[in-house]
Amino acid sequence: MSSQYFPDMELPSGYIKSWSELKEAFESVSSIFDQLADARTEMASSGQLSIETTLDLLSTNADYINALEIENERIVLKTDAEEIMNRVRLQTIAVSLQAQIQEDNLRVAQLKS
């Protein structure tokens, strides 16, 4: 999914450049849920996320910032953190898929002419 046909197109961070990357992106959604489950387990036992866990989440995916909040001076996951992370990742996948389809359609049109 190169930007050859759309060099000026603004794509979100995490743009998927190939069909194999698209497959990996769907698999990463599962990984996000695993990370959130681990973070929820930590919150259940201590009432908050440690700085280490918070930094691990953010270094893995900066979009986690949208799923965190400060509550009573503690870092916690928002109640809808899974939905937030799923929506962000799927939006990135959708934009990338649309770009790939447009690019493939241009290639087909060029082959026909």
- Taking the CA atoms of residue 39, residue 43, residue 44 and residue 47 in that order, the dihedral angle to the nearest 10 degrees is 180
pLDDT confidence of residue 18: 67
28 part of a folded domain? yes
94 part of a folded domain? yes
- Residue range(s) defining the domain that contains residue 78: 19-112
11 part of a folded domain? no
Taken in order 57, 14, 31, 68, the sign of the CA dihedral is: positive
Split into its structural domains, the chain has a count of: 1
pLDDT confidence of residue 13: 53
79 part of a folded domain? yes
| Displacement of CA 99 from its chain's centroid (Å) | 17
pLDDT confidence of residue 10: 52
9 part of a folded domain? no
What is the pTM for the complete model shown?
0.63
pLDDT confidence of residue 5: 47
User: Which residues of the chain fall short of a pLDDT of 50?
Assistant: 1-3, 5-6, 9, 11
From the CA atom positions of the chain, what is the Rg in Å? 18
8 part of a folded domain? no
pLDDT confidence of residue 2: 42
Q: How far apart are CA 100 and CA 104, in angstroms?
A: 6
71 part of a folded domain? yes
69 part of a folded domain? yes
